[in-house]
Structure 1
Amino acid sequence: MKIAVFLPNWIGDAVMATPALRALRDEFSNAEITAIQKPYVAEVLNGLDLVDHSLDWVSEKSLKTQLQFLRQLRQERFDLAVLFPNSFRSACLSFLAGIPRRVGIQRDGRGWLLTDVLSAKDRSTPYPAMDEYLRIVAHLIGEESSDLQANSGLSRKMELAVTEADRQRWESFWNKQSAEFKRHPLICLNPGGAFGAAKHWPVAHFAELAQRLAGELQKSVLVVCGPAEKEEAIQIVEQANHPLVTSLADEPLHLGLTKAAIQQAELLVTTDSGPRHFAAPFDVPVVTLFGPTHIMWSETFYDRGQHLQLAMDCGPCQQRVCPLGHHRCMKDLSAARVFDAVVSLLGQQQSKVA
């Protein structure tokens, strides 16, 4: 049996889909599973055994390129398509590729393109994306339940791996650091987010937090970043102005390097962006800063995580840019409050070890 799994289009969502992928892998242990993914999501599953192959989902919109990709899908002769994205495009591609069974949720007017149509939930009430991915696989394995949490056959445990190449990237960075930096426990900071400016916590707040973590707690602080956050990371380090605060900005940026860094951390402080979800699979405590997004959409039920979000009359608004122009949901979330959350979470972890 050949299964095509259309992965979510965001890095964090791809991590949240790993419990569903594990359930699929366990149920169809003899199947050949291929991930259909956007190129920037490719590194998420590296090192795991959840899929056998992967195909990059071409973003270029030229007719020639799209037809070539469709031809490639048809040549694979898949038996089953599992659609995690709710897009019309993913359903259309699986339909035109001639995949005989196509399973997904009824959204975007695509129900007629699917063979197995799962009813869409009312989006006026937020619900976890993770559970939606699990619901699709539950349908396939005959364990459908209105309450997935009560379904003992499905786990919400997310998975990630660090490859040997990732470890070498980390060692290359680590070997450049001072003896003093290496001597202290590591805390990672993850700024930015692909969703939009509304998710960003101010650089000055990150810098103040980094300075306090290094100065008061004697932690080494590493600002992780992708290409979009490189300048932000540089500014955080410059404003913190402390020898125990540095960033990955001068390294060849790679998702695997970020995974390796977070795996080594004592704790992660992050905006609600993709790398936030790297903490739980590696059992790293995490403080997540929420602004315009509702916590429940990306809830993962991780017991070593703490969410911070201010109660605002205008939110959470789910907008990429603050529609009122003040961005208070993030600006008013002080570095002092985040620092206190870090101290509290570290204390909880130490008491558990004791």
Structure 2
Amino acid sequence: MQAPSNRILVVGPAWVGDMVMSQVLFKHLKQRSSEIEIDVLSPRATVALVSRMAEVSTGIHMPLGHGEFRFAYRRGFGEQLKSRRYRQAIVLPNSWKSALVPFFADIPVRTGFRGEYRYVLLNDIRMMNASRLPRMVDRFVALGAGAADPLPEVAPPALMTDADNLAALRGKFSLEPGPAVLALCPGAEYGDAKQWPARHFAAAADHAVRQGYVVWILGGPNDAGIADAIRDAMADDTRAALTNLVGETSLVDAVDLLGAANLVISNDSGLMHIAAAVGTTVAVLYGSTSPAFTPPLSQRAHIFTESLACSPCFKRVCPLGHKNCLNGLLPSRLFDLVDQCGAGRS
């Protein structure tokens, strides 16, 4: 049997924000050994993102949707990876099925947190200590350290941008350079309880346009409804400065567009984490979720929350029916930040 190579396989998360945060793990692995080659296995929704992470050698697409089991397919997929002779697998998701591919790839060290009876599939099982690892990013990094090691300090995510792709996007969508750009990210895949109301986004956009901004809305096809609602709620004298890019761009396109913005206003979402990782100033609106668990990993992030007794509830839909945690978070609280970021021009 051949000795393992210097490759590590990371089974990555299915959520965009989690994938951005996982870059901190990749940075840590590279700090421990610059010779390590990191491959990342993840679904279509997130695999493209690793092409903008300098630490990753290869992104491997797992062509199964969220929730699909297909035991035989996962077994065959794992057996195909045997030839890469990985020395270790780090499994970030906690599901049983996510540990199948490393097991069938005969990877000698298979690391992950205990969960869903994975005792056979994993042989380097770690115990989750929420008080020691309060943030999602801490948990990812801990899996790359020794079980008894203290949590290392690692630099935050830093996604690479592509100036040529940005120029192509500006041409394709007639996005003229010059004015300050406010990018709105109104979507939240998890559910409505994470979404700031469309009328609030519109009010922030109205204020920005009157300060000289143009406004871009970014998101996936599922965000078309709220994007249209924002446009309809904007004032007649500001609407012409809006460009709706929802459903028109890829995830890596969003990296470049968010990197070109002066300010991003976003729910707690994957695009928020991308904006933070490209170094753009970002205003993050927290309702049902907590900045203590999934904060933007950036010194240029500004967190806005109502801090109500009922939040964070971590529900997809407000269980009390009022969503005051976001309805009560008024756009005027962001106006000073809008004014500050618009003082310069991109």
Structure 1 counterpart of 2:293, which letter?
Answer: W
CA distance in 1, matches of 2:263, 2:279: 9
- Counterpart of 1:210 in structure 2 is 205
User: Is it true that 1:135 corresponds to 2:132 in the alignment?
Assistant: no
8 Å CA contact 2:277–2:297 kept in 1: the answer is no
One-letter code aligned to 1:48: M
Which residue of the partner structure matches residue 223 of structure 1?
217
Q: How far, CA to CA, are the matches of 1:300 and 1:135 in structure 2?
A: 19
Q: Take 2:209 and 2:270, find their aligned partners in 1: how far apart are those partners?
A: 25
Letter matched to residue 330 of structure 1: L
Letter in 2 for 1:259: V
Aligned to 2:245: 248
Structure 1 alignment gaps of length 5 or more: none
Q: What is the one-letter code of the residue matched to 1:131?
A: D
Structure 1 residue 189 corresponds to structure 2 residue 188: no
Corresponding residue for 1:269?
265
Q: Tell me the CA shift for residue 39 of structure 1.
A: 0.9
Identity of aligned residues (%): 26
Report the CA distance shift for 1:308/1:281 in structure 2 as closer, same or farther (over 3 A): same
Conserved 8 A contact 1:270-1:276: yes
The alpha carbon displacement at 1:46 in A equals 1.4
What SS does structure 1 have at the residue aligned with 2:304?
Answer: strand
Moved over 4 A (4+): none
Q: 2:263 touches 2:280 (CA, 8 Å); kept in 1? A: yes
2:161 pairs with 1:162: yes
Q: Are the aligned partners of 1:25 and 1:51 in contact in 2 as well (CA < 8 Å)?
A: no
Q: CA separation in 1, counterparts of 2:223 and 2:133?
A: 28
Letter of the aligned partner of 1:21 in structure 2? F
* Partner Cα separation in structure 1 for residue 56 and residue 212 of structure 2: 41
**Could you say if the C-alpha distance between residues 317 and 35 of structure 1 is closer, same or farther in structure 2, counting changes exceeding 3 Å?**
same
86 and 156 in structure 1: CA distance in 2 versus 1, 3 angstrom threshold: farther
Which residue of 1 is the match for residue 52 of structure 2? Answer: 47
Give the CA deviation at 1:111: 4.2
- Offset, 1:82: 1.1
Deviations 1:290-342 (A, max 9, x none): 00001111124522111111122222101111112222211121122233454
Q: 1:93 Cα deviation (Å)?
A: 3.1
- In 2: Cα distance, 1:47 partner to 1:309 partner: 30
RMSD: 2.5
Name stretches of at least 5 consecutive residues in structure 2 with no aligned partner. none
TM-score (norm 2): 0.87
Structure 1 counterpart of 2:306, from 310, 322, 326: 310
Q: Is the 8 A contact 1:45 1:161 kept in 2?
A: no
Match status 1:5 vs 2:2: no
Could you say which structure has the higher helix fraction? Answer: 1
Matching residue of 1:289: 285
Q: Tell me, yes or no, if structure 1 residue 27 matches structure 2 residue 32.
A: yes
1:346 aligns to 2:345 (yes or no) = no
Following TM superposition, by how much is the alpha carbon of 1:64 offset from its aligned partner in structure 2, in angstroms? 4.8
Q: Distance in 2 between matches of 1:69 and 1:86?
A: 19
Alignment partner, residue 198 of structure 1: 193
After TM superposition, the structure 1 stretch with the greater mean CA deviation from structure 2, 255-264 or 64-73, is: 64-73
Q: Secondary structure at the match of 1:46?
A: helix
Query: Does residue 69 in structure 1 map to residue 77 in structure 2?
Result: yes
> What's the counterpart of residue 104 of structure 1?
112
Match of 1:138, SS? coil
Amino acid at match of 1:158: P
Whole-Å Cα distance in 2 between the matches of residues 335 and 301 of structure 1? Answer: 23
CA–CA distance in structure 2, aligned partners of residues 126 and 27 of structure 1:
20
- Is the counterpart of residue 80 in structure 1 residue 75 in structure 2? no
Number of residues paired by the alignment? 333
Task: Report which stretch shifted further, 24-33 or 6-15.
Answer: 24-33
Aligned to 1:330: 326
> Which of 16, 23, 37 is the aligned partner of 1:18?
23
Q: Helix, strand or coil: the match of 1:293?
A: coil
**Is the partner of 1:214 in helix, strand or coil?**
helix
